[in-house]
Structure 1
Amino acid sequence: METRELRYFVAVAEELHFGRAAERLGIAQPPLSRAVARLERRLGVTLLERTSRRVSLTDAGAVLLAEGRAILAAVTAAERHARLAATSRPTLVLAAKAGAAGDLLPKLLDRYAAEPDAADVELLLCESQPHRPLLDGRADVALLHRPFDPVTGLDTEVLATEGQFAVLPAWHPLARRAEVRLADVTALPDLPLARWPGPGGAYPDGPGAEVRNLTQLFQLIALGRTTVVMPASGGAHRIEGLATVPVVDAPPVTTVVAWPPHSRSRTLAAFVRVATGL
């Protein structure tokens, strides 16, 4: 099995759409379809069920997707680590969702920088899906937020747990309440919940605005186009024109530090030790 073929298959399996996968890979759709078909013939199994309306994974395809992600992540990480080995100072790549870690991120970076053998930390700030750099080998460690970010297949340690708030335009009647329930927020006809892209980059169906980052989200809320339920560490309470109201029955959000289970890096272990000691 060639790495290129595996990368092609993973793209299709994540997008569940040959056109989007081809666009993501920067190639035409016909050679992508032929490459996946060759891979199926070589393995002797059907990886994808194709109809005129949808593409879905078979059981064999789901197994290869999980294994393929790990293989591609290991290859990318090996290439990056080999280049870093030629430098005089170790580097750790930390992925995080831009604006989502609140005060925790600067506190963690300051505390780790004070360690005598601290590595240089390169920040990889993502608009969404901060777990993806861990899966494809671009990052060594990430700050993730359950239940929003998937952590299956990753090693994690809990850093903090907090409640959630509805973020509303300051002028909205609901913003004057001391607390609300999820049903109050989801039933607002004038402020449908914002929609974030899924693992394959596609947005779920719904009337809410499509958003990719917190700056865009907060502006749309201030303009009265959408709303969201999120933890206080997202920083909405500091934005003029927005109001935050506790959602008493929303599930708590847990911030975790996460890393690939195959990592044996002492630098990573030292970083995790500092993070869990905050």
Structure 2
Amino acid sequence: MSDLETRQLRYFVAVAEERHFGRAAQRLGMAQPPLSRAIRDLERQLGVQLLIRTTRQVTLTAAGETLLVDARAALDAVGAAQRRARNAGRPVPTLRLALKADYDAGLLPTIMDAYRTLPVELLLGGHGEQVPALRDGRADVALLPTPFDDRGLDTEPLVTGPRLVALAATDPLAARRTVRLSDLAGRRLPGGAPAEAGGTPPPPADPRSRLDLSQIFNLVEVGNVVWFLPDWVARRFPRPNIAYRPVEGLEPTTLAVAWPADSRSPAVAAFVRAVREIAEAAFTDEPPVPLLDGGRVGPN
């Protein structure tokens, strides 16, 4: 049996995802008959049926479902290899750092000043965009808050702290020193999702939200939403119309540095060492964040 080609995998993934040869051909920019022939040739090459074709739909066999998972991973790996090779072959290679703006715990300026192995190229994105950037080769290393899917990644914790809730200063809950998750049931989160009833801990941020910090703060100030955020973000943004309060039972979050587990880049290794040393120096014996209330310590 000859080796599979990436072209064959791309064709199969398009048909498997579209569940329709016509739509898959349009997506691939080709005619339908050669696509159908290519899939039949692939099935003959593997010796298994991948698709069940009817006049109305295309469904996957068990073999097709298995190949779809592996084909996606293989195509992602090929794409990542291409991007990393192109970056390494540039006249001036860079270390591509993925992060969300203002989620660096204040470390970024020191990192940029201290790290000299390669120029650092920042890839700023929303929540949840850093791990895909690492996996598809757009980024070499990332700073991101836990939890995240760390399969295939190596990670080092940098800063751990409690998550707080941001409330409008006029909210009745702002008069308390702490609140419970159950107190917040039914409140809206950025992105429109409700806080879960029964005290279920929320994620660090709603991945559906693509609002920037200033937009989220505006929504909190007028009482439209509440927002759960790390204390190391809250301490950087005291605002007169927002109160930050600890939440009983809410697990802390950690800012971590992450990179692909198969990376053998000396530049990445040097970055991880540097950022770990910078975080240790910045947060050793640091006092806990105060309850911020319009830039002042919260109620007694």
Return the TM-score normalized by structure 1: 0.70
SS in 1 for 2:143: strand
Which position in structure 2 is the counterpart of 1:38? 39
CA distance in 2, matches of 1:182, 1:272: 35
CA distance in 2, matches of 1:74, 1:196: 37
Larger radius of gyration: 2
Which position in structure 1 is the counterpart of 2:171? 172
User: How far does the alpha carbon of each residue in 1:66-92 deviate from its partner, in whole angstroms, 9 at most, with x for none?
Assistant: 6734652453343443354241x4310
CA distance in 1, matches of 2:110, 2:192: 28
CA distance in 1, matches of 2:260, 2:176: 43
Which position in structure 1 is the counterpart of 2:102? 99
Aligned residue type for 1:224:
G
Change (3 A) 1:274 1:225: same
Change (3 A) 1:210 1:64: closer
Pair 1:85 & 2:81 matched: no
- Name which structure has the greater RCO, CA cutoff 8 Å, separation 6+: 1
Which position in structure 2 is the counterpart of 1:143? 143
* Uncovered stretches (5+) of structure 1, i.e. residues with no partner: 198-207
Change (3 A) 1:178 1:138: same
Aligned residue type for 1:193:
L
* Uncovered stretches (5+) of structure 2, i.e. residues with no partner: 194-205, 279-300
User: How far does the alpha carbon of each residue in 1:35-61 deviate from its partner, in whole angstroms, 9 at most, with x for none?
Assistant: 8x939846536599xxx9xx9997974
Change (3 A) 1:169 1:58: farther
Pair 1:245 & 2:239 matched: no
CA contact under 8 A between 1:10 and 1:65: conserved in structure 2?
Answer: no
Which position in structure 2 is the counterpart of 1:200? none
Pair 1:75 & 2:74 matched: no
RMSD: 4.0
Question: Once the two structures are aligned, what percentage of the paired residues are identical?
Answer: 36
CA distance in 2, matches of 1:165, 1:2: 50
The count of aligned residue pairs is: 245
CA distance in 2, matches of 1:140, 1:168: 36
CA contact under 8 A between 2:114 and 2:274: conserved in structure 1?
Answer: yes
CA distance in 1, matches of 2:233, 2:180: 19
Change (3 A) 1:225 1:93: same
Which position in structure 2 is the counterpart of 1:214? 212
CA distance in 1, matches of 2:15, 2:220: 34
Which position in structure 2 is the counterpart of 1:65? 69
